[in-house]
Structure 1
Amino acid sequence: MKYVIIIPDGCADEPLETLGGKTPLQAANLPTMDAIAAAGCVGVTDNTPADFPAGSEVANLCLLGYDPKEFFTGRAPIEAAATGIQLGPYDCAIRCNFVTVNDQIMMDFTAGHISTEEGSELLAELNKTLLGGDHPAISADLAKRLEFVSGVSYRNLLIYRGDAEHPSPFTPTTRSSAPHDLTDLSIADDFPRGPGSDVLVALMTASAEIFADHPINKTRSAAGKSTATNVWLWGSGGAPGLPTFDERYGLKGVMITAVDLLRGLASLAGWDRIEVDGATGYLDTNYAGKGQAAVKALDQYDIVCVHIEAPDEASHEGRADAKVEALEQIDQFIAAPLWKAASERDDVRILILPDHPTYCRTKKHTHGPVPLVMAGKSVTPDAAQTYDEVTANASGLIFDPGWIMMAKFLGRE
């Protein structure tokens, strides 16, 4: 058997006035996804347990069949795995965003989608000036245990290296807020709280001072672009311990994505990764390249998973039209070639679903069920003819908690 998973991140939404009372899935022209629905079955799954944040870190972990109550330690450790960073028992990873904050309002959680090259230069300055050992914001002993690590664009990491005598000051009770859930809102009450929060706040504050007159920001400002006013630190955690997919199901998988969170989950699950030229993790990603790579990978792997960040990014920007366009691109250039390949074989099963809902109205991730569609070998069709929230909610097929869904899809329940 071959298994295909397509994850249009955050595509689930609510009816929008700007779309004539339809959700983006209903408003978009999705002939392939609707054809898959007509050939298979639709339902809903809840990947965001109420006692966890409604973030991609929890939702994608759950989507892939891992119970977050057992395996989730934080977002940043998953992203650390994407870059090959090994965390010891006393270490900790913290997610580090470049953000644009004006008058205590989160104007942009991406700092205008700052380039990786610009971000790397800013982090190098922090490592030198802030963590070099003589900055008043942090003690020299603590500074030598910390390092900012460049990722992709605005998505980066801060790593703490501890030992038995100096364990991480950041614990599971250290609270922080995801910046993408603060867009256009005051940040006054959303700074880190709890163990180690004084360190995180000090670093965030000091970064604002260091970035204020940095040449990168001067150049961006002159070009009319958002500046990186400071770093935002959140999502801390220690090393996770996930059993691999091969250990659980005896299957070899591959992930196609442009974001480190999914790269990290793939690494922890023991999957390979395929990097596609032009895959950006944004609305301008190389949809066709991802689709072509996925079709080619079917011959080599048992599971081929394609993750597309674009619908989520459109939601965070409150752009329903861009979300519809992203979904149509996914349908045409990813779902269509994969469904064609599946239809030409008798050993393929396909699954399409987002990780969590992301509302254009609020620009935030939210808890709640998401629609799924599965079709292919040994999947009994139902009466559904379209893939959208309304059809899925009416189907009666419900996976709650969501982590049990993967075993069903793989025929291992």
Structure 2
Amino acid sequence: MLPPAHREAQPRLGDDRRAVVLVLLDGLGDRPQSDLGGLTPLEAARLPVLDQLARSGACGLHVPFGPGRAAASEVAHWAIFGYEGIPFCGRAVLEALGHGLPVDDSDPRLYAALRTSQTRDGVVWITGRAEPDDEADARRLLAALPQASGDQIFELEWVRLGEGILRLPGAGAEAAAVSDSDPFFEDRQPWLLPRALAGAGPPAAAAAARLAEYLRAARLVLVGHETNAGRIRNGLPALDTLTTKWAGARRPLPSFQDRVGVSGAMVTSSALYRGFARLLTMESIDIATDPDPGRDLAARLAAAAALLQAGATFVHVHIKVVDEAAHSRRPDAKRRVLEALDPALAALLEPPFSGAVVAVTGDHATPSSGGVIHTGDPTPLLVVGGAVRPDAVTDFSEAGCASGSIGTIRAADLLPLLLGHANRARFLGARATAEDTLGFPDHPEPLLPA
């Protein structure tokens, strides 16, 4: 505590702000599984470290966009990072940035992929995708695709396997408001007609029409290409259909520090999160995924510790393996992955993490059985450190955290909650910067004397 300033009756406030660490276990939430006796993988797992963290802090449930709304990782993180209310740039832009491609204009970009297909009753159904062994064939096929439809140029840049970023030069950001041609659910929806999104203007309608023409022309080229003829002769499925999804465009956007008020950093492993780091001007350390989940998480937490020690105020650590285990549709596999991760989380009990506010949660629920990709089911949340008041929760799980003192929160409320516990809440009666920051701004612009 500092003595009062001149003619002030109250003591001056000490600086007890803390850093914030968000450990994001992708696809953490789940549903009761008959294979696990009616428990979720979290409820069935033995997780002594996560349970200790839960006992030491406050718990609740994270439902990114409200009950029943199934979130993709990119839109959940857009809100988690404080950008809800600002138009989303589209995942294709993030993927392009994450793959190191230049995105210094407002041209629409879409994520394109070569797919295998079958035609039934005149309708094209997607049946598969390119595998690593298909790379040479996929490159030849992508190189053969048309480069224009009518007066619209299409530029396709390869990023991995049979996938690339499709750019529409000169079309303008408004033209990015088009729907997917990729059905996602291959056995339920066919190859889709791209349309202008509801409420979009003429540029989007024109772009959707040109895109449909381009995709039809591309399929004619692919169906007749010698590479696919050779694949069929060799008993391989033809990569004969191009799909598009995640359309978007880059627009002016405040950096993470300008938007939130504090410096941000990330530990990444995929193009999506590298793209977020580039887009939001966040420092990042990229670590290749280790096949051993515990070793992988330990390396990521070591990188997060280095970022904290270098001065980062907010550090995001993303772990994909939980989501991947859920997508295997084997509930016990997800349980085993969670148990493999748990020992590495003991690092959160030690410096520098013990001096920070630490949260563990997921970006969405990924059920490990059933016919859905993601769901709007609640994901457990724990927060420990700083001004957090421990509650009565003793186990980190969907059922355990449901009775926690935090209650149920949305993605957009997660960062303000953590900043508040770190004594970094923005005082709403003050405006130190032009941006309506989520937290107390670390680096407002000083007024220099004349």
State if a TM-score over 0.5 links the two structures: yes
- Residue number in structure 2 paired with 1:86: 103
1:326 and 2:301 correspond:
no
- Residue number in structure 1 paired with 2:284: 273
Contact 1:100-1:228 within 8 A present in 2 as well: yes
Cα deviation code 1:33-82 (max 9, x no counterpart): 22211111111222235898721121111122221x32324222233333
Where does structure 1 lack aligned partners over 5 or more consecutive residues?
Answer: none
Aligned counterpart in structure 2 of residue 291 of structure 1, from 301, 308, 328: 301
- Residue number in structure 2 paired with 1:56: 73
Aligned counterpart in structure 1 of residue 360 of structure 2, from 337, 341, 352: 352
Query: Cα 1:396–1:2, aligned 2, differ >3 Å: closer, same or farther?
Result: closer
Query: Cα 1:235–1:407, aligned 2, differ >3 Å: closer, same or farther?
Result: same
- Residue number in structure 2 paired with 1:176: 180
Deviation of 1:345 (Å): 6.0
Deviation of 1:392 (Å): 2.1
Report matched runs for 1:14-413 at 5 Å: 14-48=31-65, 54-67=71-84, 69-82=85-98, 83-89=100-106, 91-102=107-118, 104-108=124-128, 111=129, 114-115=131-132, 119=135, 122-123=138-139, 125-126=141-142, 128-132=143-147, 138-139=149-150, 141-143=151-153, 146-152=154-160, 156-162=164-170, 166-167=171-172, 170-172=175-177, 174-176=178-180, 179-180=183-184, 182-183=185-186, 185-188=187-190, 190-194=192-196, 195=205, 196-208=207-219, 210=221, 228-278=239-289, 286-300=296-310, 301-333=312-344, 335-337=345-347, 339-342=348-351, 346-360=354-368, 361-411=370-420, 412-413=424-425
Where does structure 2 lack aligned partners over 5 or more consecutive residues?
Answer: 1-17, 197-204, 426-450
Deviation of 1:367 (Å): 2.7
Aligned-partner residue type, residue 377 of structure 1:
G
Distance 2:300 2:49 in 1: 16
Question: How many pairs does the alignment contain?
Answer: 388
The 3-state SS of whatever aligns with 2:395 is coil
Query: Cα 1:107–1:88, aligned 2, differ >3 Å: closer, same or farther?
Result: same
Cα deviation code 1:154-193 (max 9, x no counterpart): 664212221xxx4368343x2227654x15x232274423
Percent of pairs with identical residues: 25
RMSD: 3.5
The 3-state SS of whatever aligns with 1:33 is helix
